[in-house]
């Protein structure tokens, strides 16, 4: 029995009942694929249902405003995905008369749709014979065939995609791709793979040679950048100062408290004595209390945040055009990064 036949047989017995597997609608499949990028199924499932219910068609998605999309996306991370999806939905309305493309050659032209996503949508919606190679498939193929090329190297993408294209059943490519991805996710797991119950174990290079713990290989990433955020919480007359982040940095167009970023961790006194703080809030401000530091890890950044509640401050920050006062009760309505909305959820009592 061939490699792909074994995996399809396993899939028929063990597959999860996931909502996007019960449709050939390319729009719904697109929603699921983008939401699940760099996201576990368990984490992404509530977001998928939220978006599919609020935006049942691509027309609904295109007609939304970006702030609403980012609010629904809140907590999922990689917010550029949500912004790119909005742009793509509008492009589909303009260039495809509201019909979401099904073919790879059309899909690949859409913003935020790379080779993997285009292959997935075309394969699952129209059974186009394109291999879908995600992290699960990389891992499975690396172990089974004993491929030592680091999966994040420049060569790996072509090596594994070519191999996957050779392996899929051309008569049922959508099923083949789903089976490969599911097998990698549930059976050939990153840690503690279920080798003893694996239908492929007697022909798997990694299992036979004791390499399951060392394959797949990865090149080391660049060290993460350390950043130090000092959030200033300035409230008066039951209103609080808030800021909309600009472009060219993380969390574009999301909302947060006024931020003073420093090159190192600062004490509250050091922050109050800094020229930047005094230019914005005056020399007579005092600290009511502080919270933190809180650590927040992104793919290439490690953020350490403190939250400084101040009193007796002056409004010297008129040049900060993105800053504005809002009612404390309205804070939850603004899309915010996790480092802000998690803080708000736990510490709303401090504002009352």
> Which are the catalytic amino acids?
33
Whether 24 and 124 have beta carbons less than 8 Å apart is answered as: yes
Name residue, tokens 């929603």.
31
Cα dihedral angle (64, 67, 73, 75), rounded to 10 degrees? -170
Cα 150 to chain centroid distance, Å, stands at 23
Q: Rounded to an integer, what distance in angstroms lies between the CA atom of residue 45 and that of residue 68?
A: 19
Collapse the DSSP code of 169 into the 3-class scheme (helix H, G, I; strand E, B; otherwise coil) and give the result: coil
Would you give the end-to-end CA distance of the chain in angstroms? Answer: 68
Name residue, tokens 């609608």.
25
In sequence order, which residues have a C-beta less than 8 Å from that of residue 36 and are 6 or more positions away? 44, 48
Half-sphere exposure in the Cβ direction for 328 (13 Å, CA):
16
Cα dihedral angle (141, 183, 181, 122), rounded to 10 degrees? 110
Tell whether omega for the bond before 238 is within 30 degrees of 0, i.e. cis: no
Q: Rounded to an integer, what distance in angstroms lies between the CA atom of residue 69 and that of residue 55?
A: 10
Strand 301-311 relative to strand 225-236, pairing? parallel
């Amino acid at each position: 029995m061939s490699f792909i036949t074994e995996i399809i047989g396993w899939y028929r017995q063990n597959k999860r009942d996931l909502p996007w597997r019960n449709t050939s609608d390319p729009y719904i499949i697109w929603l699921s694929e983008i939401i699940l990028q760099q996201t576990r199924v368990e984490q992404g499932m509530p977001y998928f249902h939220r978006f599919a219910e609020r935006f049942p068609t691509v027309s609904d998605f295109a007609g939304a405003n970006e702030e609403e999309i980012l609010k629904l996306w809140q907590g999922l991370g990689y917010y550029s995905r949500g912004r790119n999806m909005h742009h793509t939905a509008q492009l589909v309305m303009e260039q495809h008369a509201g019909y979401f493309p099904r073919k790879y050659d059309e899909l690949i032209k859409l913003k935020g749709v790379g080779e993997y996503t285009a292959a997935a949508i075309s394969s699952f919606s129209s059974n186009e014979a394109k291999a879908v190679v995600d992290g699960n498939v990389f891992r499975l193929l690396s172990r089974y065939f004993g491929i030592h090329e680091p999966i994040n190297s420049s060569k790996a993408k072509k090596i594994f995609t070519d191999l996957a294209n050779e392996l899929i059943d051309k008569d049922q490519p959508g099923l083949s791709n789903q089976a490969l991805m599911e097998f990698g996710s549930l059976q050939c797991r990153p840690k503690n793979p279920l080798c003893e119950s694996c239908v492929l174990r007697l022909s798997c290079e990694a299992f036979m040679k004791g390499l399951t713990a060392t394959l797949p290989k990865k090149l080391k990433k660049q060290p993460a950048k350390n950043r130090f955020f000092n959030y200033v919480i300035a409230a008066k007359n039951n209103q609080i100062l808030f800021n909309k982040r600009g472009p060219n940095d993380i969390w574009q167009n999301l909302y947060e408290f006024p931020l003073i970023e420093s090159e190192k961790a600062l004490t509250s006194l050091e922050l109050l004595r800094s020229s930047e703080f005094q230019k914005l809030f005056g020399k007579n401000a005092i600290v009511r209390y502080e919270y933190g530091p809180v650590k927040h890890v992104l793919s290439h950044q490690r953020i350490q945040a403190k939250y400084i509640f101040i009193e007796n401050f002056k409004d010297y920050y008129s040049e900060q055009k993105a800053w504005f006062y809002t009612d404390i009760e309205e804070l939850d309505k603004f899309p915010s990064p996790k480092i802000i909305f998690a803080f708000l959820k736990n510490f709303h009592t401090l504002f009352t």
